[in-house]
Amino acid sequence: MRTLAILCACGERFNYKIDPASVESELGERGIAPILVSHGDHFVTLYVDRNYSVRSVEKVLLATGRTETVHAPAGGGMSPPEIKEKISQLMKDIDPEKNHIAFFSRVASIFHTSDELFAAGRYTGYELWIRKRQTLLKLGAHFKLDPELVISNELKPIFDKLGKTKYLKGEKTLAIQEVISPQFFLGIAQGILDAIHAHVENRDMVIEIEHNILENTLFLRLKQK
């Protein structure tokens, strides 16, 4: 285990333990590995170098396929396969796009830590995007994406069915209101990004989405290059 000393985007300092094996290949290939870490009600992406120094900390979700490792903090909790299994069962029982209230209340009764909620949201988001794009994917069509449109065309239609949203066009920001569990909703956004990345033709593109939570509203904003 290596301990990372983090100065979070929220201003607090904390330490985080990671298993070097989980980032080895990424470090070997690129010299820098992004690691998604939970802190309180938010998540940050750390960029770690070969010396396990934290080069930078950003409050972003990434579509690079390189954030596979959400590190379970010491003390256990549910394993990712267990969470995935529970979510796929739950999605069979209740369609989140038809009855999101019932779905969310089951989620809240099954998952408790912010890491579990994030991972659960991630599987949910992945499945919902695949469902939305099913017809296209079945045709074997290659999916091309303009990163500029990821919020309005990919994230918004899914979140529209899960709650109240508002798209602030000029700011390329999606506001999702009355969010009960920000971690779960953030997970959904990350899951959608994961699914897009897995199916998109231009895989070298990088999409970064900044997030903020204010009261019960989650803001997702496309980070401009």
The answer to whether 176 touches 214, Cβ cutoff 8 Å, is no
Restricted to residues 17-46, the positions that interact with Zn ion (CB under 5 A) are: 39
Residue 48 half-sphere exposure toward CB, CA atoms < 13 A: 31
Q: Can residue 8 be called a binding residue for Zn ion (CB under 5 A)?
A: yes
Q: Which residue lies nearer to Zn ion by CB, 39 or 199?
A: 39
- Angle, helices 80-93 vs 114-132, to 10°: value is 50
Q: Which residue lies nearer to Zn ion by CB, 165 or 190?
A: 190
Q: Can residue 54 be called a binding residue for Zn ion (CB under 5 A)?
A: no
How many residues at the interface with Zn ion, by CB under 5 A?
Answer: 3
Q: Kindly state the smallest distance separating residue 58's Cβ from Zn ion, in Å.
A: 11
Q: Which residue lies nearer to Zn ion by CB, 43 or 129?
A: 43
Q: Which region, judged by CB under 5 A, interacts with Zn ion, from 1-9, 75-83, 84-92, 101-109?
A: 1-9
- Angle, helices 114-132 vs 182-199, to 10°: value is 40
Q: Which residue lies nearer to Zn ion by CB, 9 or 151?
A: 9
> 12 to each of 8, 18, 39, 85, 146, how far by Cα in Å?
5, 19, 9, 34, 35
